[in-house]
Amino acid sequence: MQYLFVRVVKARDLPTKHLTGRLDPYVEVKLGNNKDKTRHFEKTTNPEWNQMFVFSHDRIEASLLEVTVKDKDFVNDDFVGGHMFDLFEIPKLVAQ
């Protein structure tokens, strides 16, 4: 069985959206209909999550992996930044 391992390590110097300079960041990892997220940190622009997410081959329903940084708020979480990865460009590790 094949797996996709995604490790969210850290972010540096994230931009703040509020006048207070406060940012409560977390990362959302989305692959098709499968979505997971890291824990959030309070009041930091330099979070270190070091969290691993694993998607098994039978759960992979899309060819794009979306990684989005968001700011946790009371009502709606704000978009901070993100990137999309094409799964066809990710190298495969073959066990020997």
Share of the chain above pLDDT 70, in %: 94
Classify domain 3-89 by CATH number. 2.60.40.150
What is the sign of the dihedral through the CA atoms of 74, 76, 77 and 80? negative
Residues 51-86: tens digit of each pLDDT: 999 998 887 778 999 999 999 988 899 999 999 999
Q: How far apart are CA 14 and CA 44, in angstroms?
A: 8
pLDDT at residue 31 in the model: 93
pLDDT at 18 over 70: no
User: Three-class SS of residue 42?
Assistant: coil
Residue 29's identity, in one-letter code, is V
All structural domains of the chain with their residue ranges: 3-89
